[in-house]
Amino acid sequence: RTMYVIPFSMGPVGSTLSKYGVQVTDSPYVVASMGIMTRMGSPVLQKLSEGEEFVRCQHSVGQPFPLKAPLVNSWPCNPEKVLISHLPDTRQILSFGSGYGGNSLLGKKCFALRIASRIAKDEGWLAEHMLILGITSPQGVKRYVAAAFPSACGKTNLAMMKPSLPGWKVECVGDDIAWMKFDSQGKLRAINPENGFFGVAPGTSDKTNPYAMATISKNTVFTNVGETSDGGVWWEGLDPPGAGVTLTDWHGKTWKPGSSTPCAHPNSRFCAPAAQCPIIDPHWESEEGVPIDAIIFGGRRPEGVPLVYESFNWQHGVFVGAAMRSEATAAAEHKGKVIMHDPFAMRPFFGYNFGDYLAHWLSMQKRKAPTHLPRIFHVNWFRKDPSSGAFLWPGFGENSR
């Protein structure tokens, strides 16, 4: 196979909050996707030539030529021998046998969360599985919020929310990862280290997330979705295609509504440039980051957890994050409606010991320098009425409240 060398930056090139990486891969899909998800190319090479540190990312689909047997998949991978290894001490990632998103786009979860969380511990900052949004009141007061949710809890929908409250405005800085560091004044400042959105397609529609639909209208890579006979893409949650248009499922087989299998894989994805989002925040690429006033934790809890509450203080807030639970999802490895612990929405992404991680969060209130700690809240949009099984809260744009 051809080896591709990808120099990339997580965060705006030149920002003091950014970090650099180099990925070698034998997958053209990875090259195309990393070109969307990161800042890639010559400006980064320039930084590396100046001696900047970088994370070493090695990836192979694990199917060298000549093939020993015909491929059983639509694309090359080696599911029997998948190995994804992170070496935090030497800042290295080794990934073999998987062509899929998070396992092959090594700048994303592998670097920006697992390795970065360890770098953040060593350097005194935070690398978190959090969206970042700005919300402006009718009076023109703007606040930035970071929010941690496990997968399938509407993180992208919240980051691109269309508020139902008149006069309120939401703008998106990022939908998945936040790197946060205290500035000299003691304000916690956050950047979105990514350059694109790698979102779950099924359930994304003009009804649930009109801004995401506008974002993915061009320059977008789709993975494992259905295909329409007129050259479009389709997934569960979209309106049925027009008359005379037929569907092919993600396996390449003819598909009809009512089939026993889904048309798009439940974890199928779109990969789109963040700059195409109609409500991208004007400061989303600011080198110093945006000032965080509040941190929100949340999960999918059908019973017993209120719609919203605020922690008493920072220490209690860390406890709230540590005690997060949520119904399991397609992106995680478990099936069905098990309520699983997912502390800080980081269970799959911790780069070091969880006890040390909690101590690192708690240490933020003991900093020698001036420190303005954000307020911490917990939300649950997913509580159900025990008698009807229906959601008690309308969600989506109402979450602006």
What does 346-370 look like in DSSP terms, one character per residue? -TTT--S-HHHHHHHHHGGGG-SS-
For residue 144, give every residue at least 6 positions away whose Cβ sits within 8 Å of its Cβ, in sequence order, or none: 132, 133, 134, 135, 173, 190, 290, 291, 292, 293
Contact 322, 50 (CB under 8 A): no
Q: Which of 375, 386, 334 is nearest to 143 (CA)?
A: 375
Buried b (16+ CB within 10 A) or exposed e, 182-194: bbeeebbbbbbbb
Contact 351, 116 (CB under 8 A): yes
pLDDT in tens, 79-115: 999 999 999 999 999 999 999 889 999 999 999 999 9
pLDDT in tens, 278-323: 999 999 999 999 999 999 999 999 999 999 999 999 999 999 999 9
- CATH class label, 127-195+279-400: alpha beta
Contact 96, 83 (CB under 8 A): yes
Q: What is the pTM assigned to this prediction?
A: 0.95
pLDDT at 69: 85
Cα–Cα distance, 96 to 81 (Å, whole number): 7
* CATH 3.40.449.10-classified regions of the chain: 4-106
Using 50, 70 and 90 to split pLDDT, how confident is the model at 154? confident
Cα–Cα distance, 135 to 142 (Å, whole number): 6
For residue 225, give every residue at least 6 positions away whose Cβ sits within 8 Å of its Cβ, in sequence order, or none: 201, 233, 234, 235, 250, 264, 265, 268, 269, 270
Residue 73, pLDDT above cutoff 90: no
**What kind and span of H or E run contains 156?**
helix 155-159
Q: Which of 264, 376, 392, 396 is nearest to 321 (CA)?
A: 376
Helix and strand numbers (H, E) in the chain are 8, 24
**Fold (CATH) for 4-106:** Phosphoenolpyruvate Carboxykinase; domain 1 (3.40.449)
Using 50, 70 and 90 to split pLDDT, how confident is the model at 269? very high
Q: Which of 183, 151, 153 is nearest to 286 (CA)?
A: 183
Active-site positions?
Answer: 153
Residue-wise DSSP of 70-94: ---SSS---GGG-EEEEEGGGTEEE
DSSP character at residue 207: T
* CATH 3.90.228.20-classified regions of the chain: 127-195+279-400
**Residue with the two structure tokens 């479009």:** 232
Residue-wise DSSP of 164-191: SSTT-EEEEEESS-EEEEE-TTSBEEEE
Residue 383, pLDDT above cutoff 90: yes
- Locate 351 and state its tokens: 């780069």
pLDDT at 331: 55
* CATH 2.170.8.10-classified regions of the chain: 199-275
Question: Residue 69 CA to chain centroid, in angstroms?
Answer: 35
Q: Give the pairing type, strands 290-298 and 142-148.
A: parallel
Average pLDDT for the chain: 95
- CATH class label, 199-275: mainly beta
